[in-house]
Structure 1
Amino acid sequence: MTVDKLNIFGGKEPWNPSDWTASDDRVRGGSSQSYFHANAYEPIARFYGELDYKTLGGAGFASQRTTGENRSWDLSCYTGIELDIEKADTKRYTFNLKDELLARDPENGREQASVSYEYDFEISDAQAQAESTVIYIPFDNLNATYRGREKEDAPPLNTTSVKRFSIMMRSFFATQEGPFSLSIRSISAVARRKDGEDARSMVSEKDTGVLVPRSAKWMLAPADHGNWRQFGQSTLGVIAGITVFGFLAVGLLHLTVCKRG
C-alpha cells in the first residue's frame, strides 16, 4: 500500500487559531459552546467545550469550522482525509466537508444552508489510552446531508474545490452531552492505493497498456479491448480511439500535477 500525504492543518503546516471559528447551536438559541486552542509553536490543536441538548429540547451541537468564504482546496489527487488524533474522550464526533458556500441571507445576515458531507467517528477506550490514533475517512464514505437530514440525491463531493472543513460535537438526538475534548496532531489529505497502481484517478487496461480515466472506461471497445486494429476499422472505432487517447493525455497531465503537488 502506497500513501501520499498532503498536510492541510498541523503536521508540517503549523496550526493557526485564526483558521478556525466557532459555529454552535447558540445561533439557534441553544447553550452549547465550543473552543479551539492552537498556536504555531505547539504541534497539537485542541477542540473542546460543553454540549447541551436540553435547551433546544433534545438537539444540540458545538462545532469549529474553517474561516474565510473564498478559500478552496483542490484534493482531487487524494482518496480521503486522515485525522491524526493525539488524545480524545470516547464521545462520538462528526467531521464535515463542504464544496459550496451560499451567500448570507439578506434579511438576517446568517449564512444559508448548503449540503455537507459528513463522517461520524468515535475513539474506543483502548484507542483513548494510546499515544495517538489515526482515523482514515475515504471520500467515498462521506454521507451527504442537508440541515441534518440525509440527502440521497446529492452529487458526490467535488474534491477539486473543497470550501470548508469542520469538526462537530452533537447530541445525536439526546444520546450524549456534557464536556468534550479532542486533541489533534494534524488533518491531512491522503492518497491510498495499491503498490503498482499508476494513478489515483486512472485504471489500467492490462491488454492495451492504456490508462483511462475511471469515468471514461465505457469508451473502450466492449468486445475485445486488446484488438485495437480491428476496432479501429470502423468509423466509430476511430472516433472512440481518438477520444480515449485524448483522455489519456489529460490523465497523464493530471497525474503529473498530482505528483508535483
Structure 2
Amino acid sequence: MNKEKDQILFGGSRSWNAADWTASDDRVRGGKSQSFLECHSSTGRFHGNLDIKTLGGAGFASQRTTGEDRGWDLSDYAGIVLDIAEADGKLADKRYTFILKDELLPRNPDNGREQATISWEYDFKPCSGESSLEKGGLVFVPWSGLKPTYRGKEKEHADPINLETIKRMSIMMRSFFGDQEGPFSLTLRSITAVASSPVEPGRLERGDAASATNSTSRWSRYTQSFNLALSSWRICGLALLATALYYLHRNTSPAA
C-alpha cells in the first residue's frame, strides 16, 4: 500500500478505540445474536455469536461506527483494505460483510428508531482456499464491488454511492439465508482507504480466482465426462438401431 497517499481510518498507527464503534445486532428485530468489538492498541477483534433459530433462519450481528455527524471523503481513493490478523481460528470459511453508508436520516419521531437508507455492501471470506491467517492477509474492497441494498434486499437502479460523504462503516456477520451460524471472530489490524489496489491481492481475490479456476476445471471435467458418456451411448444406440432394422428387414422380406 502507498504509505503517502493511503488514509488509515481505524487501527494501524492509530489505536483502536471502543468508543468509535457500537453494536447493531438483530436484537432490534427480536433476535438473539450478539456482537462485540474488543479493542487493543494494535488490533480490533470483532466477535460474538450469530443466532438464526429465533428468527427462523435469518440473523445478523454487526459493529458500526458511532456518531451521526461523522463523515469521510473517500473520493480520491480506489477502495478499502482490511488488514486481517486472524479469522475464526484456523477455520476461515465464514463470510463477512463490509458496509458503507453515504446517507443517514433523522430518527423516526414516533418510535425513536433510525430510518432505513441504502447500504453499500461487500461480502468476503477472510481466507479462501489457503492456509490459516497465521501471517495475516489483506482483503481489498473496490468501490466497483459494492452492491446497494435496502432493508436487506438488493436495490435496483440505485444512484451511485457518494464517496465524498461517507457517514458510516460497519462489519457484519450474517446467516446468508441459514448458511452459517454460531460463534465468530475476526481480528483486524487496520481499515485503510487506499489510492490504488494493493500490490499483494487480498486473500479474497486470490481465493475467488482459485475457486473460479477450480470450478471451471471441475466443470470442464464434468462436461468432458458427460460428452464421452453421451458419445458411448450414441454409438451403442446406433448399433442397437442397426441390429433392430436388420432383423426387421430380414423377417419382413419375402422368402427367396
Contact 1:94 1:121 in 2 (8 A): yes
Contact 2:85 2:135 in 1 (8 A): yes
Contact 1:17 1:38 in 2 (8 A): yes
Contact 1:64 1:166 in 2 (8 A): yes
Asked if 1:131 is matched to 2:127, the reply is no
Q: TM-score when scaled to structure 2?
A: 0.72
User: Partner residue of 1:10?
Assistant: 11
Report the 3-state secondary structure (helix = DSSP H, G, I; strand = E; otherwise coil) of the residue aligned with 1:155.
Answer: coil
Question: Which amino acid is 2:73 matched to?
Answer: D
User: Partner residue of 1:105?
Assistant: 108
Larger Cα-atom Rg: 2
Cα distance in 1 between the residues matched to 2:23 and 2:2 = 36
Q: CA deviation at 1:127?
A: 4.6
Query: % of aligned pairs identical?
Result: 60
User: Partner residue of 1:58?
Assistant: 57
Q: Please point out which of 154, 160, 163 is paired with 1:159.
A: 163
Cα distance in 1 between the residues matched to 2:159 and 2:139 = 24
Deviations 1:195-224 (A, max 9, x none): xxxxxxxxxxxxxxxxxxxxxxxxxxxxxx
Contact 1:32 1:50 in 2 (8 A): yes
User: Partner residue of 2:66?
Assistant: 67
Cα distance in 2 between the residues matched to 1:142 and 1:177 = 24
User: Partner residue of 1:148?
Assistant: 152
Question: Which amino acid is 2:58 matched to?
Answer: A
Question: Which amino acid is 2:188 matched to?
Answer: I
* C-alpha spacing 1:16/1:175, structure 2 compared with 1 (3 Å): same
User: Partner residue of 2:31?
Assistant: 30
* C-alpha spacing 1:190/1:104, structure 2 compared with 1 (3 Å): same
User: Partner residue of 1:192?
Assistant: 196
Deviations 1:144-195 (A, max 9, x none): 000111112111111101000000000000110000000000000001179x
- Higher strand proportion (structure 1 or 2): 1
Cα distance in 1 between the residues matched to 2:159 and 2:32 = 34
Q: Please point out which of 95, 99, 103 is paired with 2:98.
A: 95
| Equivalences for residues 106-255 of structure 1 within 5 A | 106-122=109-125, 123-124=127-128, 126-192=130-196
User: Partner residue of 1:20?
Assistant: 21
Question: Which amino acid is 1:82 matched to?
Answer: V
Deviations 1:93-136 (A, max 9, x none): 00000000011111111101100000000122625343111000
* C-alpha spacing 1:46/1:155, structure 2 compared with 1 (3 Å): same
User: Partner residue of 1:85?
Assistant: 84
* C-alpha spacing 1:80/1:127, structure 2 compared with 1 (3 Å): farther
Question: Which amino acid is 1:37 matched to?
Answer: E
Question: Which amino acid is 2:25 matched to?
Answer: D
Contact 2:96 2:124 in 1 (8 A): yes
Question: Which amino acid is 2:68 matched to?
Answer: E
- Higher helix proportion (structure 1 or 2): 2
Contact 1:2 1:193 in 2 (8 A): no
Gaps of 5+ in 2: 199-256
Cα distance in 1 between the residues matched to 2:104 and 2:133 = 38
Q: CA RMSD in A?
A: 1.8
Cα distance in 2 between the residues matched to 1:193 and 1:5 = 11
Q: CA deviation at 1:2?
A: 6.3
User: Partner residue of 1:228?
Assistant: none
User: Partner residue of 2:238?
Assistant: none
Question: Which amino acid is 1:27 matched to?
Answer: V
Gaps of 5+ in 1: 195-261
Cα distance in 2 between the residues matched to 1:176 and 1:98 = 25
Cα distance in 1 between the residues matched to 2:122 and 2:197 = 21
